[in-house]
Amino acid sequence: MELFISLRYLRGRKMGFITLITNISILGVLLGTMVLIVALSISNGFQTEVRDQITGALPHGQLRRYFYRPLENYDSLAALVQEHPSVVAVSPSIEAKSVIEYTNPVHDVPPIQDGVKVFGVVDSLESRITTVAQQMVRGEWGLDSAYSQRDRKNPAIIIGEELARGFGVDVGSEVVLMSTAGEGDLTTMTPRMSRFTVAGIFKTGMYEYDRLFTYINLDEAQRLYNVAGVQFLNFRCEDIFTAAAVAKELNEVVGHEFKRTDWESRNQSLFQWMEVEKRVILIVISLIMLVAAFNIASSLVMMVMEKRREIGILRSIGARRSSIVKIFLLHGGIIGLIGSLGGTIAGITLCVVQDTYQLIDIPGDVYFISSLPVLLMPRDVISVFVAANILCLLAALYPAWRASKLIPAEAVRID
């Protein structure tokens, strides 16, 4: 009986203004549910995409000496790191900030310069640490010095797609790297310079990496930056989420003269910012559903006032107060169910369409990545759906309680 009466009230045609508010409430719940699901999916997708790009383009963990003192006999240390059961690959490297310069050989224009981060690596080992070797869009992943001397007049350098686009270079172009590891003081220093030929261009999908990262052979980096040995021992783990624990264990094995880092600690501020952003989005968009809940409460209060006589008749013929409460709780619950179900379907549909067709692009120089990622998580969808329905039921509590407190004789007498 309670459900039948609730449905009749929902479809009532003689309650124009109340029905309008009810429809607005349903629309509010629908929009709130839809937007919340889409926003959480975008936030999840953004976090996952950025995390995957970071753990693909960078090692999961690193060991280095304090003050970046070089590791000269690093082979034995690398073997020790490789023995850890969670480590799948180890690679030495040198990292340095440099200036790269390109002079157009055809047009008489000033040279173009930009700051870059140079990685001196062993290409065969680096390809097991990062995924850059699998992300080549032009050319090939090959930095071996002997190969470069045979087939090129200059050593090889591999650069990102954004840097190549900004400079207007392609595979085969010649660029110059300049290092501050030269002779003299700050006023008389002559930078070390070395000419390289672009052997390949990669695209990680992270704008900053594709603009800043460049790779040269480890031997060339040692000469250019005047480093005897290497600066870092990079390692890759089977599970990216164990990197911090593995780095700590390795630090205890190799000794505390080494400083450990992992991908999470290197990007801690970025992930903290994304987590805060997700919470802010959750709070702001939840206000839409809160407004919808107030609309439900106000429409039910007006409905109670409109239906006082009918409620009084129901009480007079034996309806219990609990039945009156159920009628209005069901009314609020039906509004919540219709709105949340419609919002859930709409939100999932929008996410699937964006994930399939990538209709919305975003500026990579601002958001790190160039397309809007979405990741639907069943836990979030279910949580939003359940929360929307609970909120609607809570909004119906006061009107339902108020209706149950009506005195039958007084309610019937009022016309």
Q: Is residue 18, in this structure, part of any structural domain at all?
A: yes
Task: Work out the mean pLDDT of the chain and round it to a whole number.
Answer: 87
Its domain, for residue 356, covers 2-54+270-413
What was the pLDDT predicted at 151?
62
Residues 15 and 102 placed together within one structural domain of the fold: no
Q: Virtual CA dihedral for 406, 409, 412, 415, nearest 10 degrees?
A: -90
Q: Do the domain assignments include residue 250?
A: no
The count of structural domains within the chain is: 2
CA separation for the pair 152, 139 (Å, rounded): 13
Please tell me whether residues 80 and 40 are part of one structural domain.
no
264 belongs to a structural domain? no
HSE-CB at 393 with a 13 A cutoff on CA atoms is 10
Task: Tell me which of 237 and 106 has the higher pLDDT.
Answer: 237
Residue 255 placed within a domain: no
Q: What is the DSSP string of 129-178?
A: H-SGGGGEEEE-----HHHHHHH-SS-EEEEEHHHHHHHT--TT-EEEEE
b/e per residue, 355-391, with b = 16+ CB within 10 A?
beeeeeeeebeeebbbbbbbbbeeebbeebbebbbeb
20 with 160, same domain: the answer is no
Q: Which tokens go with 192? A: 């070390």
pLDDT tens profile 267-297: 999 899 989 988 998 888 888 888 888 888 8
**How far apart are the C-alpha atoms of 5 and 2, rounded to whole Å?**
5
Residues 195 and 141 in one domain: yes
- pTM of the predicted model as reported, rounded to 2 decimal places: 0.83
- For the chain, the first-to-last Cα distance in angstroms comes to 24
194-198, 245-249, 349-353, 368-372, range with the lowest pLDDT: 368-372
Asked whether residue 238 is domain-assigned, the answer is: no
214 assigned to some structural domain: yes
Residue 269: closest CA among 279, 277, 281: 277
Q: Between helices 378-404 and 321-357, what is the axis angle to 10°?
A: 160
297 in any annotated domain: yes
Read off the pLDDT of residues 351-404 as tens digits, 9 standing for 90 and up. 999 999 988 988 877 777 878 899 999 999 999 999 999 999 999 888 888 877
Cα 415 to Cα 310: distance, rounded to the nearest angstrom: 10
Instruction: Classify residue 295: in a domain, yes or no.
Output: yes
Q: What is the mean pLDDT of residues 73-85?
A: 93
- Cα distance between residue 21 and residue 300, in whole Å: 9
